[in-house]
Amino acid sequence: MKIPSLLLRFPRCYFSRRTYSVNFGFASRADFLGAQSLESAHRCHTKWICSSNCLRRELCQQAAPEQQAEGLSDREQRLVDRLYHGLIQRHRASLAEAITLIESTHSGKKKVAQVLLQKVLSYHREQEKLNQGKPLAFRVGLSGPPGAGKSTFIECFGKMLTERNHKVSVLAVDPSSSTSGGSLLGDKTRMTELSRDMNAYIRPSPTSGTLGGVTRTTNEAILLCEGGGYDIVLVETVGVGQSEFAVADMVDMFILLLPPAGGDELQGIKRGIIEMADLVAINKADGDLVVPARRIQAEYISAMKLLHKRSKVWRPKVMRISAKTGEGISDVWDKMSEFRDLMLTSGELLAKRRKQQKVWMWNLIQENMLEHFRSHLAVKDKIPLLEEKVLRGVLSPGLAADLLLKAFKDGL
């Protein structure tokens, strides 16, 4: 859309505020006049068109990726085909490359990733049909405070599963690593034996991005792992922060791993997380720690009786285990299998997965909208000033939010 020369010559006349905002992308006539030169006016305007188009394009990509296949270049299409075939032939290198692709923030790569995902999803649906509609993989979330023994547990549990002919993938979600610059959870030195096992695949979460971004990539990585033939997908997260809530919303079963420590030592663990747990495993129940582990187990059993019942067929269990000696690990798997069977036969598992799809969609919308809001010309420059006023206490957060929202709406 070209800005009419009349507007450039007579910016104060002829045009209503609505014309400036709706048609030309400026919050107001004053904003247009604020654009210092003709060139910058054009630049602002082009940027506005680009950002609107980007959002539109991104939403379209997510809504109907199959249509995007038409928009791919030959090279991109060849990449999709190569990764897709590698994935379904269970090549680990293709899975790794595909996950790197979905983690990319580059818009071109994002487009390719969505087409690949759509292909994997179709393949998945076919496979599930052949499996009488039952899910092919069991998605398990594992959370616990630092030092609870998560990696020791995964190493021991994962090895037990691969020995029983399962294929296990471990996705480590650690949004806090965006500040430290490295993903602690995904560090393979934490699970040395399992990372060498050909039937296991360990993958750190992206080391940058928002929680929303991590949610998207983890959800998509789960689908890719399933497409790659992994029948158990373990999503590990550190139990302090918000990531465990996001993870609980993308798995079939959520397990909380706790050390044999009570009250004060577990301050970092939020009550809400305990409510999400389908199984609580008190780890380190060995040697001198057996007695405290028993006590903590009893405490959790009584505390969990008071929690709101989330399933008609399952009551959360509290077990004692030792990831170091391996004691109780196969019992954990038995309980997990029992959970899965009950949830499947009752229909609760499929209902949960469907609900999760909706949550995922809204998470994506929220993330995209927020990004669009923050970068919108009508609010971008106002944000620092209003934030500063809120920090100084001269403006209430509610009023600041209202002002920004109004500027955004006017600028649409």
Binding site for ligand GTP (CB under 6 A): 144, 146-152, 190, 238, 283-284, 286, 289, 322-324
Q: How many CB atoms lie within 10 A of CB 66?
A: 12
Cβ closer to ligand GTP: 279 or 364?
279
Minimum CB separation of residue 291 from ligand GTP in Å reads 13
- Neighbour-count burial for 228-246, b at 16+ CB within 10 Å, e otherwise: bbbbbbbbbbbbbbebbbb
Cβ closer to ligand GTP: 150 or 203?
150
* Closest C-alpha to 157, from 203, 205, 191, 198: 191
Burial of 20 (0-12, 13-18, 19+ CB in 10 A): buried
Cβ closer to ligand GTP: 61 or 322?
322
Minimum CB separation of residue 152 from ligand GTP in Å reads 4
d(CA 134, CA 222): 16
Cβ closer to ligand GTP: 168 or 407?
168
Minimum CB separation of residue 323 from ligand GTP in Å reads 4
Give Cα 280 distance to the centre of its chain. 23
Minimum CB separation of residue 356 from ligand GTP in Å reads 25
Minimum CB separation of residue 187 from ligand GTP in Å reads 8
Minimum CB separation of residue 168 from ligand GTP in Å reads 16
Q: Which amino acid is at 65?
A: P
d(CA 267, CA 294): 20
Minimum CB separation of residue 101 from ligand GTP in Å reads 28
Cβ closer to ligand GTP: 102 or 173?
173
Cβ closer to ligand GTP: 177 or 218?
177
DSSP per position, 344-386: HHHTHHHHHHHHHHHHHHHHHHHHHHHHHHHH-HHHHTHHHHH
* Closest C-alpha to 185, from 197, 174, 170, 200: 174
Two tokens, residue 141: 């979330």
Which residue has the CB atom at the shortest distance from ligand GTP?
A: 149
d(CA 42, CA 401): 29
Minimum CB separation of residue 259 from ligand GTP in Å reads 8
Q: Residue 168's beta-bridge partner residues?
A: 200, 232
Q: How far is the CA of 214 from the CAs of 7, 54, 157, 207, in angstroms?
A: 44, 20, 25, 9
Cβ closer to ligand GTP: 143 or 363?
143
Burial of 181 (0-12, 13-18, 19+ CB in 10 A): exposed
Cβ closer to ligand GTP: 137 or 282?
282
Minimum CB separation of residue 148 from ligand GTP in Å reads 4
Cβ closer to ligand GTP: 226 or 286?
286
d(CA 221, CA 204): 11
Minimum CB separation of residue 214 from ligand GTP in Å reads 16
Minimum CB separation of residue 299 from ligand GTP in Å reads 19
Contact 301, 335 (CB under 8 A): no
Cβ closer to ligand GTP: 139 or 150?
150
Q: How far is the CA of 100 from the CAs of 105, 138, 139, 203, 295, in angstroms?
A: 10, 23, 20, 10, 44
- Neighbour-count burial for 279-291, b at 16+ CB within 10 Å, e otherwise: bbbbbbbbeebee
Cβ closer to ligand GTP: 124 or 150?
150
Q: What share of the chain is helix, strand, coil (3-state, %, to 5)?
A: 60, 10, 30
